[in-house]
Chain A
Amino acid sequence: MKLSWIFGPSMEAHHLLYAYVTVWLIQGGYAAWIALQWARTGKELQSDPADSSQFDEDS
Chain B
Amino acid sequence: MKRSRILGLVGIVWLLASLGVIAYATRLGLILAPVDALQGNIFRIIYYHVPTSMLSLLFPYVNLVASLFYLYWRQRDPLKALTADAVAISSAEVTVVYATICLWTGMLWGRVAWGIWWTWDARLTSMLLLWLLYVSYLMLRRLSSTGQTHTLAAVLSVFAGIDVPIVYMSIRWWRTQHPAPVFGGGGDSGLDPSMRPAFWFNVLGWAMWGIFLLVFRYMLERRRQESEQDAALQAIEASLEIAQ
A26 to chain B: which residues have CB within 8 Å? Answer: 97, 100-101, 104
Q: Report whether A12 and B108 are in contact in the complex, using a CB–CB cutoff of 8 Å.
A: no
B213 at the binding interface (Cβ < 8 Å): yes
- In Å, the complex CA distance between A13 and B237 comes to 63
How close is B43's CB to chain A, nearest CB, in angstroms?
A: 9
B49 at the binding interface (Cβ < 8 Å): yes
Q: A15-B111, A18-B108, A48-B227 are in contact. Are A34 and B41 (CB under 8 A)?
A: no
Interface 9-mer from B67-75, B169-177, B193-201, B218-226? B218-226
How many chain A residues touch the partner (CB < 8 A)? Answer: 33
A51 to chain B: which residues have CB within 8 Å? Answer: 234
Q: Report whether B227 and A44 are in contact in the complex, using a CB–CB cutoff of 8 Å.
A: yes
Q: Report whether A38 and B220 are in contact in the complex, using a CB–CB cutoff of 8 Å.
A: yes
How many chain B residues touch the partner (CB < 8 A)? Answer: 40
Q: A19-B48, A27-B101, A48-B234 are in contact. Are A12 and B227 (CB under 8 A)?
A: no
How close is A46's CB to chain B, nearest CB, in angstroms?
A: 10
Contact with B along A4-31 (1 / 0, CB 8 A): 0110000111011011101100110011
B77 to chain A: which residues have CB within 8 Å? Answer: none
Within 8 A of A (CB), among B216-244: 216-217, 219-220, 223-224, 226-227, 230-231, 234, 237-238, 241-242
> Which label, helix, strand, loop or mixed, suits the secondary structure of the A interface?
helix
Q: A30-B93, A38-B220, A55-B238 are in contact. Are A1 and B31 (CB under 8 A)?
A: yes
> Which label, helix, strand, loop or mixed, suits the secondary structure of the B interface?
helix
Q: A22-B104, A34-B216, A42-B223 are in contact. Are A15 and B112 (CB under 8 A)?
A: yes
- In Å, the complex CA distance between A46 and B157 comes to 34
Q: Report whether A19 and B109 are in contact in the complex, using a CB–CB cutoff of 8 Å.
A: yes
Q: Report whether B238 and A59 are in contact in the complex, using a CB–CB cutoff of 8 Å.
A: yes
Q: Report whether A59 and B241 are in contact in the complex, using a CB–CB cutoff of 8 Å.
A: yes
B26 at the binding interface (Cβ < 8 Å): yes
B83 at the binding interface (Cβ < 8 Å): no
B227 to chain A: which residues have CB within 8 Å? Answer: 41, 44-45, 48
- Selected from A12, A13, A31, A52, the residue in CB contact (under 8 A) with B234 is A52
User: Which B-chain residue is minimally distant from A13 (CB atoms)?
Assistant: B41
Q: Report whether B234 and A55 are in contact in the complex, using a CB–CB cutoff of 8 Å.
A: yes
Q: A12-B112, A34-B217, A48-B227 are in contact. List 11 more A-B contacts (CB 8 A).
A: A3-B30, A6-B41, A15-B108, A16-B41, A16-B42, A16-B44, A19-B49, A23-B101, A26-B100, A26-B101, A34-B213
A-B contact pairs, 28 of them (CB 8 A): A3-B30, A3-B31, A6-B30, A12-B40, A12-B41, A15-B42, A15-B111, A16-B44, A16-B108, A18-B108, A19-B104, A19-B108, A20-B30, A23-B52, A26-B97, A27-B97, A27-B101, A27-B213, A31-B213, A31-B216, A34-B213, A34-B220, A38-B223, A41-B224, A45-B226, A52-B234, A59-B238, A59-B241
